[in-house]
Each structure stands twice: as C-alpha cells, then as structure tokens.
Amino acid sequence: MAQFAVIGLGRFGSAASLELVKLGHSVLGVDTNEKLVNKYADQLTQAVIADVTDRRAIEELGLDHYDVVLVGIGAELEASLLCVVHLKSAGVKKIWVKATSRAHHTILNKLGVDRIIHPEEEMGIRVAQALSYPMVNDYISLGNGQFVVEIDVGARLEGTTIQQFLVESQEDIHILVVKRKADMYFHPADAFELHAKDILVLAGQLDALKTIAPMLS
C-alpha cells in the first residue's frame, strides 16, 4: 500500500482520490473548501483543510513522507504554482500536477515536477480513439508506436484457435491475456480456443492493431 496526498478535491482531485482508495492505498485529501473536505472525510484515509499557498501549512502536513503528492488545483494558476514551490522546498519526493494551460505546463516544467497532467486533453484523445475504433474497449500507449489494447471477440471466431487467428490476421501482434468472465488466461497456447464474448488483451504496433480489431468483431 502506497501513501498519496491529493491537493484540491474538485472533480479531478476527488475522482483520483477515491479511485486510489479503491485500489487499496492510503490517501490524504487536502482542500481550502471546508464543504469539500467534509464531503470526502469519511471516504478518504484522512481529509484536512489547509491553505497550500502557505509554506508553513505545507510543512505542517508532513507531505515529504508521502510516495507521491498530486496537485489537482483547478483554475487558480498562482495557487497551483505556489503550492508546487512549497512542496519542492519541503523535500517532497514526487510531485504530479494538473495543468490547465500551456503556460501553466511550461512553468511546471521549469519547476521540475515529475509529471504534468492535462486531463481534458488526455480524455479528448481517448474519446477520439473510442469513436474511431469502437471495437477497442481500452488501450495503453507504451511509446514508440506500441500499444496494449482490449478487444471483444465476436461470434464469428467461436472455436477458432489462437494459432488460426494469428495466421489469418498476418499481423505481428502478441496475445497477452484472454479474459473469459472471471477467468484470466495469460500467454495462451497456440491450441487455445477462443469463445464469443472473450476479451483479448493484445500488444503490438498501432497499425497492426488497427488492422486486426475489425477481424475480431
């Protein structure tokens, strides 16, 4: 279990906080808004009211003991930047920050934060991918054009073996997992037979995955 602190409990920060708790982590939520802190107090490990633009408040929170501090402050650019400066001064090991503009991103980059997040932009890209390739349930970019995707298996492939499918596809892809209801089959053998409604987790170049996705429907 890791320890995270999330500063700013708006829509972005609260969603991240609650998901981290679901994943079994310890989460400290911080906000200046008493109503927000009270709203999530029973759902997070700890929730406190604090002005993170005040260096002493940051020091009193002891955030240097946390694995990662996520700054999710929204429209207040000055508050976000002051918070990051104070976190750096307090010796926080890893700082992730939500950026609201290119200027915000540029300054955060100069401050040397570990990761800059553009939630609206990133979600927009994911929505565009989902619209373009509706047969793909989810995907993760590995860089260098490599992706991992989840694709549903259609009725047409009922009883087809992994080997037959790979030969038919003529694409250089890797089948990492077959998900069948509650069961998971890792690196399935060539003789493994696919069933309708299986979910394949595939890895490969984006162009190859684009080609193969319609074949699974």
For residues 158 and 195, is the Cβ–Cβ distance under 8 A? Answer: yes
**For every residue of the chain, which 3-state class applies, written as one string?**
CCEEEEECCCHHHHHHHHHHHHCCCEEEEEECCHHHHHHHCCCCCEEEECCCCCHHHHHHHCHHHCCEEEECCCCCHHHHHHHHHHHHHCCCCCEEEECCCHHHHHHHHHHCCCEEECHHHHHHHHHHHHHHCCCEEEEEEEECCEEEEEEECCHHHCCCEHHHHHHHHCCCEEEEEEEECCEEEECCCCCCECCCCCEEEEEEEHHHHHHHHHHHC
For residues 13 and 37, is the Cβ–Cβ distance under 8 A? Answer: no
pTM passes above 0.95: no
How far is C-alpha 148 from the chain's CA centre?
Answer: 14
- pLDDT by residue (tens digit) across 137-194? 677 777 777 888 888 888 888 898 988 888 877 778 888 999 998 899 999 999 999 9
Residue bearing the bigger pLDDT, 111 or 209: 111
Write down all domains in the chain, each with its CATH number in brackets. 3-118 (3.40.50.720), 133-216 (3.30.70.1450)
Closest CA to 95 of 86, 47, 126, 159: 86
Residue 128's pLDDT band (cuts 50, 70, 90)? low
- pLDDT by residue (tens digit) across 22-77? 999 999 999 999 999 999 999 999 999 999 999 999 999 999 999 999 999 977 89
In this structure, what token pair is assigned to residue 48? 């406190």
Residue 107's pLDDT band (cuts 50, 70, 90)? very high
